Amino acid sequence: MAVLRLSHTFRLPNAVVWGLIAASTPLGAAVASGGGGGMGGGMSAPMSPSMSTPQYDPAQEYRDGMAAYQAGKFKDAARSFDHVTQAAPGEVNGWRMLGLARGGNNDAKGAAKALERALKIDPKAVDTRRDYALALAQMKQGDKASAQLDMLKSRAAQCNDTCPEAADLKSAISQVEAALKPPNSAATGPAASIAPSGSLLSAAAGDGAYVEAVSLINEHRYGDALVALDRASAAFGPHPDILTYRGYVWRKLGRLDKAEQYYRAALAIAPWHRGATEYYGELKVIEGDVAGARTMLAKLERQCAFGCADAEDLRRWIDHGGDPAS
Amino acid sequence: MDRPRRRSGVLIAPRLLVAGAVAWTLAAARADTVTVPLRVLRWTAPGAEVVRILTRRPVECLAVPADPEAAYRVEVGRAAFRDPLLLGGQAARAGIACESCHRNGRTNPDFAFPGLSGAPGTADVTSFVFSTHRGDHVDDPRPIPDLGGPKVRLKVDQSPASPALGTFIHGLVVEEFEGAEPPPGVLEGLAAYVRALNPAACADGGAGGGFERVTAAAAIADVLRAAAARAALAHRDGPVALAMIQAARAQLGDLAEHFDGRALTAERQRLTHASFELAYIADAVRRTDPGADRRLAAWLRRAPAWRAALLNAEPRSLYDKGRVETALSGGQAPAPSSQPRVR
């Protein structure tokens, strides 16, 4: 492996070296840009190595990955989704798409690893379990693939054709069984592979899912709203708006811990996201953390140079000690 | 007119993410055509004459009362009319104020907002886009009325003896746009302002209205008029004073949008500084600090300095028609001859 040797005449501090590397590589370009999508800020000051870990705009990376995937550029797609998972490791769609992109690039082992991570986050995802099983079958790991098939069959038995995912389960089982058949058996068609592009959402469909989620929230159908937000997320990835709304739904469901988790995830991606900042401040009011809420308000006031509704609404929450509309 | 049709989807408006959805929609719809970072373009109909819209506006037909108290109320209403935060909810987050639909107190034939408008110049006041209260699932946008036109054409009784106008405005703010309960003085002011809009106040009688240039000087004048907050403090009306200060800050934000680009960083910084100073004054008002009025007076005394700097830079801003045309064409706006050359 090549080793970067510095000049004999002087040594640059490590931080500067890392800064130079960052500025001279595509990876560095992403670091130096500080990301888009309202993330703001850049990295003009020298960084220590611990500070120079990659910082991507995962929503943008996800969009790039989707574009590359849909264009059949699986290697590029895998690179983008790999960045997504680095920046937002808790985002299931990033791992799932990384698995699909690696599968498209004939990297079954890499696909299986990514899909396994996705399943740890969302064990109920039928498509992901199917794709994981297909990847294992492609790696000739029949036992492990069969174990996944058994899990799908168990779900199907519990469902008994009555659950919403009944058709998906049936289809998944059929595809995995086909993939597990010996090559010379009397299969009716070629074994399925990991390329479920039909399940990918376009941006327009993602918008539709998003608006549907908004509608469902207003109908107080929070479980259905989360499903719709999942679909929007499949199109847009870890978008801070979607993460913030997931937090909002969990708050409405009384799961303040999960609400906070999503607000924090949104703010990790977009530290200056006004909505997430406001809602996180409101959550702190609910939890009785007025000082924390005031910190959020101060943050909004700093970024809203000319005033903004987010700050004024949070101020009213703080003044009222809760939802002023209640 | 088409029969009202049922909406295809129930777009009710929890605060944050409808704004997000709108932003996505706008990005998709306008990104290929608009490169000017002005909020007004968010609610400008596709295909509209953007240069005209950005550089010209209808003349305001305002008959300012001679009585100082009545004039004060009109000024309060005039400022609130231009402040998005009056409306709250999704509208505020999108930057929409009363003035967005009623440019300079008139109408806006080019207004179009996704989910709210049909043909340009229309809006559905019973839409779920901005309201959870008034949505009726029926897509029936109506023409935006000219508030500076003949009163007989307006559906709400504006006679001072009638409470109808105040009730209408209150419902509009609180229910239609999900805004917070406005201070009574602001509601009175809005009603006074709308009543003071009168075709007789326009040189041509308001028939079609005349047009005027959109200028930095007029925008700055609006900022300073919002400093009617001083008068509100004299009236010991803190909530109105706060509303006026916020209106002034919103106007400063509108100015800052026009001074876009790296070459105008200093001008934007002046505006940002002026706005943060007002934020500190607002804090003083909230604390009922008796020094708030003195600070506001000092702020007003400093205004001529930043005003002069902005007017000097106006030819390089998006108040200049040539700059707007260049920006809209997707090119880098050329440096005007007055700008020093940089090697």
Decide the pairing of beta strands B5-6 and B138-139: antiparallel
Q: Domain B215-324 - what CATH class?
A: mainly alpha
Contact criterion met (CB < 8 Å) for B14 and A301:
no
Q: What is the mean pLDDT of residues B207-233?
A: 86
A259 touches chain B (CB under 8 A): no
Residues of A in contact with B255 (CB under 8 A): none
Closest CA to B241 of B231, B253, B256: B231
Q: What is the mean pLDDT of residues B186-212?
A: 83
Closest CA to A202 of A228, A236, A246: A236
d(CA B201, CA B146): 14
d(CA B109, CA B111): 6
Q: Is the pLDDT of residue A40 over 70?
A: no
Q: So what's the pLDDT on residue A269?
A: 87
Contact criterion met (CB < 8 Å) for A210 and B17:
yes
The encoded tokens of residue A175 equal 């595809």
Q: How many H helices and E strands in chain B?
A: 14, 6
The encoded tokens of residue A45 equal 């000051």
DSSP annotation of B340 reads: P
Contact criterion met (CB < 8 Å) for B13 and A218:
yes
A228 touches chain B (CB under 8 A): no
Share of chain A above pLDDT 90, in %: 52
Contact criterion met (CB < 8 Å) for A307 and B18:
no
Contact criterion met (CB < 8 Å) for A207 and B249:
no
pLDDT-based confidence at residue B134 (cuts at 50, 70, 90): low
Q: What is the ipTM of this complex?
A: 0.85
CA-based nearest residue in chain A for residue B131: A218
Q: What is the mean pLDDT of residues A172-200?
A: 67
d(CA A244, CA B63): 47
pTM score of the predicted model: 0.73
Q: So what's the pLDDT on residue B6?
A: 34
Nearest to A248 among B9, B14, B271 (CB): B14
Contact criterion met (CB < 8 Å) for B275 and A307:
yes
What distances in angstroms separate CA B319 from CA B184, B201, B217, B263, B311, one per listed residue? 35, 26, 10, 15, 10
| CATH number, domain B44-211 | 1.10.760
Contact criterion met (CB < 8 Å) for A214 and B21:
yes
B85 touches chain A (CB under 8 A): yes
Burial code of B30-68, b = ≥16 C-beta within 10 A, e = fewer?
eeeebebebbbbbbbbeebebeebbbebbbbbbeeeeee
Closest CA to A111 of A191, A193, A187, A54: A193
A277 touches chain B (CB under 8 A): no
Q: Is the pLDDT of residue B319 over 50?
A: yes
d(CA B128, CA B93): 15
Contact criterion met (CB < 8 Å) for A306 and B249:
yes
Nearest to A214 among B14, B271, B275 (CB): B14
Nearest to B272 among A212, A275, A305 (CB): A305
Of A24-38, A67-81, A310-324, B321-335, the poorest mean pLDDT is in A24-38
- Residue A273: exposed, middle, or buried by beta-carbon count in 10 A (0-12, 13-18, 19+)? buried
d(CA B311, CA B306): 9
- Tens of pLDDT, residues B55-94: 999 999 999 999 999 999 999 999 999 999 999 877 888 8
User: Could you tell me where the DSSP H helices lie in chain B?
Assistant: 15-30, 50-55, 68-81, 84-87, 89-94, 98-101, 164-171, 184-196, 216-226, 229-234, 238-258, 265-286, 292-313, 321-328
Mutate to test the interface with A, among B6, B24, B85, B116 (most CBs of A within 10 A): B24
Closest CA to B228 of B71, B18, B1: B71
Residues of B in contact with A314 (CB under 8 A): none
Query: Which residue's structure tokens are 């709203």?
Result: A225
User: Could you tell me where the DSSP H helices lie in A25-106?
Assistant: 26-33, 58-70, 74-87, 92-104
Element (H, E) at A218: helix A203-218
- Tens of pLDDT, residues A148-158: 999 999 999 99
pLDDT-based confidence at residue B26 (cuts at 50, 70, 90): very low
Q: Are A225 and A213 in contact (CB under 8 A)?
A: yes
Q: Which of residues 163-222 of A touch B (CB under 8 A)?
A: 203, 207-208, 210-215, 217-219
Nearest to B25 among A207, A214, A242 (CB): A207
Query: Which residue's structure tokens are 């050359």?
Result: B341
Contact criterion met (CB < 8 Å) for A214 and B11:
yes
- Minimal C-alpha gap between A207 and chain B (Å): 7
Q: What is the mean pLDDT of residues B110-132?
A: 79
B246 touches chain A (CB under 8 A): yes
Looking at every residue in chain B, the average pLDDT score rounds to 83
- Tens of pLDDT, residues A248-302: 999 999 999 999 999 999 998 889 999 999 999 999 999 999 999 999 999 999 9
Q: Are A236 and A206 in contact (CB under 8 A)?
A: yes
- Tens of pLDDT, residues B152-174: 888 899 998 999 999 999 999 99
- Tens of pLDDT, residues A41-66: 233 333 444 444 456 788 888 989 99
Q: So what's the pLDDT on residue A197?
A: 46
Mutate to test the interface with A, among B10, B17, B132 (most CBs of A within 10 A): B17
Contact criterion met (CB < 8 Å) for A309 and B250:
no
Contact criterion met (CB < 8 Å) for B89 and A309:
yes
CA-based nearest residue in chain A for residue B128: A215
Where are the domain boundaries for CATH 1.10.760 in chain B? 44-211
Domains and CATH numbers, chain A: 58-183 (1.25.40.10), 238-320 (1.25.40.10)
Mutate to test the interface with A, among B16, B222, B265, B273 (most CBs of A within 10 A): B16
Nearest to B246 among A214, A218, A307 (CB): A307
Q: What is the mean pLDDT of residues B246-270?
A: 95
Of A96-100, A219-223, B10-14, the poorest mean pLDDT is in B10-14
What distances in angstroms separate CA A265 from CA A139, A232, A246, A250, A289, one per listed residue? 34, 16, 10, 14, 20
Closest CA to B273 of B240, B315, B302: B302
The encoded tokens of residue B65 equal 């009362």
Q: So what's the pLDDT on residue A38?
A: 29
CA-based nearest residue in chain A for residue B268: A305
Element (H, E) at A229: helix A222-236
CA-based nearest residue in chain A for residue B11: A215
Where are the domain boundaries for CATH 1.20.120 in chain B? 215-324
Contact criterion met (CB < 8 Å) for A210 and B20:
yes
User: Which amino acid, one-letter code, is at A241?
Assistant: D
| Distant-in-sequence contacts of A67-72, Cβ < 8 A, 24+ apart | A68/A101, A69/A97, A69/A100, A69/A101, A69/A104, A69/A197, A69/A200, A70/A197, A70/A200, A72/A104
d(CA A272, CA B56): 34
Residues of B in contact with A239 (CB under 8 A): 20
